[in-house]
Amino acid sequence: MKFFVDTADLAEIRDLADSGLVDGVTTNPSLIAKSGRNMLDVIAEICDVVPGPVSAEVTATEHADMMAEAEVLAAIAPNVAIKVPLTPDGLKTCKALRDRDIMVNVTLCFSSAQAVLAAKADASFISPFVGRLDDIGLRGLDLIEDIVEIFSQHDAFETEVLVASIRGPAHVVESAMAGAHVATLPPGVLRQLYQHPLTDKGLAAFLKDWKATGQSILEQANERKNAAE
């Protein structure tokens, strides 16, 4: 499973990219607005940091205007994925862009039927929102399981399932078990994946025992180096 980080915060992206765990980035107008910066500048900087797909969302709602905005965004870098909403105009734009071999992420998916339409439009990614479904009393992971199953039955569908609106580690693990291709995580959730109380407890015990020996790996290395000279 690939991990995308869901943020427009360059400091967070750089820090997480250094870990080698980030395969791409997703942004949206809300995340860009939080950054308080020029959208084109932000996308360009992110593309310089992360070589994988970087989703940049159009803000227009009609096909012609979406295409005009997509032209601008796609020109920023070859790894930009144009993000469009799952609407008739959004899918029309998706098909037109894919015919030109431009990556497209179809967002705001809340049903399997919508996912099938995105696959028919040759979307590079479909983004079902699990957390928002959970918020209204449904089980968002049911949608992921259904979409993965449907796509597996049709070889012509090459669209990757990109799980969005992830709220915690459980969403990530269950999405991976369901066979989703990508999870896009807020930075805080990605960092939560590291955490387990037994890891902390075990590390503390190892460090305590090592400190009691009074030894230092670097000091021993220097001593061996000096002796060899």
Residues carrying an active site annotation: 83
Distance between CA atoms of residues 82 and 95, nearest Å: 12
Kindly report the length of the chain.
229
The sign of the torsion formed by the CA atoms of 140, 182, 30, 96 equals: negative
- Residue 220, helix vs strand vs coil: helix
DSSP of 138-166: S-HHHHHHHHHHHHHT-TT---EEEEBS-
- For the record, the structure tokens of 85 come out as 């909403």
